[in-house]
């Protein structure tokens, strides 16, 4: 029996070749930034227990890993430092001290891989004895007093060779303050990828394990956003846009696809999304238990973030994705 059905969408799905022609959203290694971790010492390659396949590297093993990463076509990494407690203090002074691990690592990476785009983290928590992203006085996170520290950190990172700075602390006014500090020192070409919309999320747990940077008291809800809010995301993004951000980021990604889409529809800057540690760990754990196909889940996840409107995705899956495409 034949039916008269003039529109048959299945015709555009009948073969792999035709599906490729009709594909609306594309995903490539060029869209990805690979977060990586550096620790003190030598010969260190320590797996993060809650993030299978992700390692803390000392500088020597990091440089070896970067050879493989860049050969796979990954063009940008985001480096995070893990410091021992004896290097931390109230004012995060280690973050801008000449000769510190992180700044020396940036210089070494840029010397060996000059074409690699190097993104950094601008926040107090890896260096703070309080474990917070801002300066703490009497149990309160001080906003304006934190800005001076962030500016010193940002200039030091730019001087060490950073291409993109990632202020991740959610203090008010930080993008403009950092932009002014950079420009005053002649770093007008250094970009800012602002963590414009960073929610107080449960999905950050494995990252804090990787850096040993959990708050020593309380939580981060006075500066990170309420997961219930999306209009507030537009306010935060607009402020960072006006203050000179070059990219606007949403973090986390999967629970906030609607927020990514909202920012993409309202701003003409590239939108970034951070596919965070907890999102990575969920897929890894399920795949290890045989509950789902890890590669397919990874690809579907990354595609969903792109489809929502993210031009850039920070993801711990970057190397795995690149290996699949190789």
> Which residues participate in catalysis according to the annotation?
198, 251
Q: Is the peptide bond before 252 cis (omega within 30 degrees of 0)?
A: yes
Distance CA 59, CA 82 (A): 12
CA–CA separation, 134 and 120 (whole Å): 17
β-bridge partners, 191: 164
Q: Are 250 and 196 in contact (CB under 8 A)?
A: yes
Nearest to 54 by CA among 310, 283, 292, 311: 283
> Distance between CA atoms of 42 and 237, rounded to whole angstroms?
40
Q: Does residue 185 have a known ligand-binding role? A: no
Q: How many residues would you count in the chain?
A: 326
Tell me if 266 sits within 8 A of 258, measured CB to CB.
Answer: no
CA dist., res. 250 & res. 310, Å (int):
9
Closest CA to 253 of 299, 300, 308: 308
Binding residues: 236
Binding residues for Mg(2+): 236
């Amino acid at each position: 029996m034949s039916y008269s059905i003039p529109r048959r969408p299945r015709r555009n799905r009948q073969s792999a070749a035709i599906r490729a022609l009709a594909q609306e959203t594309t995903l490539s290694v060029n869209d990805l930034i690979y977060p990586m971790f550096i620790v003190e010492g030598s010969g260190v390659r320590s797996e993060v227990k809650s993030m299978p396949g992700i390692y803390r590297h000392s500088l020597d093993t990091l440089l070896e890993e970067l050879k493989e990463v860049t050969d796979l076509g990954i063009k940008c990494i985001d480096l995070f430092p893990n410091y021992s407690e004896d290097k931390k203090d109230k004012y995060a002074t280690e973050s801008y001290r000449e000769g510190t691990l992180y700044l020396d690592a940036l210089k070494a990476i840029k010397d060996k891989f000059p074409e690699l785009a190097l993104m950094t983290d601008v926040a107090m928590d890896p260096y703070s004895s309080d474990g917070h992203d801002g300066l703490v006085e009497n149990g309160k996170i001080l906003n304006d007093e934190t800005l001076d520290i962030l500016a010193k950190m940002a200039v030091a990172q730019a001087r060490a060779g950073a291409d993109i700075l990632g202020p991740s602390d959610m203090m008010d006014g930080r993008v403009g303050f950092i932009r002014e500090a950079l420009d005053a020192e002649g770093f007008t070409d250094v970009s800012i990828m602002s963590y414009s919309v960073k929610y107080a999320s449960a999905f950050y747990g494995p990252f804090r394990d990787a850096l040993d940077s959990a708050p020593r008291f309380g939580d981060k809800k006075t500066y990170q956003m309420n997961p219930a809010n999306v209009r507030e995301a537009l306010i935060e993004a607009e402020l960072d846009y006006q203050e000179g951000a070059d990219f606007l980021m949403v973090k986390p990604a999967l629970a906030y696809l609607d927020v990514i889409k909202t920012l993409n529809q309202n701003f003409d800057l590239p939108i970034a999304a951070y596919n965070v540690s907890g999102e990575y760990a969920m897929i890894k754990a399920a795949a290890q238990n045989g509950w789902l196909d890890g590669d397919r889940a990874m690809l579907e996840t990354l595609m969903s973030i792109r489809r929502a409107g993210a031009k850039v995705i920070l993801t711990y899956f970057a190397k795995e994705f690149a290996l699949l495409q190789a």
